[in-house]
Each structure stands twice: as structure tokens, then as C-alpha cells.
Amino acid sequence: DAIRNIWINKYDYILIDVNPNLGPLTILGLMAAPITNILIPAFPEESSRQAVIALADTIETLLANDFSQQINILGILIAKYERNNISGKYLKFFSQLAENMDTILFKTLIPKSVIVSEAIALKQSIFERRKSAPIIDKYNEFCDEFLQRLEYFKNNNCQAE
């Protein structure tokens, strides 16, 4: 609790990026502050569908056992999106799941792109790898949408911090 209070008094936002699994680091990340705002990235594929369902169950369990914790799910972001029937199927699923989780599916869809794989292999961000590309425009578009979502939480007393 002492560390949590130091963070809250010193920073407006703290970003904690955890591996896409439900191990101890993810649980600690969810419980790192009295108010935690979560962005859930998802891919239009079966393993991601199962992982997001498991994450939703974990969040529900955590909240049921800690009444002082507030977890706001800011939304689900679809990445590695391709225009095909399978992606469309998963897009519908994640839209319904977001509604069931009382959150949104972000409108911005991050397309599948070789630039991401190249940047990871070279240990660079996509912004270092290329100065301009459609995926960079999409990430910038998402940032605008995400900031609007944070503003929504702030203006509606959802205590997004």
C-alpha cells in the first residue's frame, strides 16, 4: 500500500505492460493501484478470444475479492486485423464481449503489417522503423480515440487515473 500511495501522489499515469498470459505478473499489474485502467489488445484469432475471456473472468474474480480495488476496462483494441471472413467473425465476437464487459470495442482497427515484425526483430519501435506508413496512421488514430476514452472516464466520474 505504501508503494501504491507513492505512485498515486507522484504520477498522473503509469503504464504497465504485461505479457499476454494470466500469470502472477498480470495479476500484480491489475492490482498495482487502487484504480487501474485496462486496455485489452486482442487479435482476430481463437487463442486471443480464449485469452480475453479468461482475462474477463480473472478481473471479475479479483473484483469480487477486493472491494477497495477499482478496475476500469477502457476498451478492447483489435490488432493484426485483416479484411476477411475470419477476422469479421472475431470482430463481431469481440464487439459482443466488450458490451458484456461494459466497455467498448475501439473503432480503430490496427492492420496486420510486416513493419511490426521487422521493428520487433530490430528492437525498434515502428515509429523508428518508418517515418510514415498506413499502420503508423492507424496507431496515431487509435491514440486520439484512446485519449478521448480517457477524457470520457474523467468527465463521467469513472475515476480514470
H helices of the chain, in order, are 2-10, 24-30, 46-65, 85-100, 114-121, 126-129, 134-155
The sheet with strand 105-111 has its strands ordered as 35-42, 70-81, 105-111
**Phi, psi for 75 (deg, rounded to 5):** 155, 175
Residue 23, sorted as left (phi over 0), alpha (psi -120 to 50) or beta, turns out to be beta
Cβ contact 2:9 at 8 Å: no
Give the per-residue pLDDT at 130: 83
Per-residue pLDDT tens listing for the chain (161 residues): 666 666 666 777 777 888 777 888 888 888 877 788 899 999 999 999 999 999 999 999 888 887 778 888 999 999 999 999 999 999 999 999 999 999 999 999 999 999 998 998 999 998 888 888 999 999 999 999 999 998 888 888 665 44
Give the per-residue pLDDT at 160: 43
Give the per-residue pLDDT at 99: 96
Give the per-residue pLDDT at 51: 92
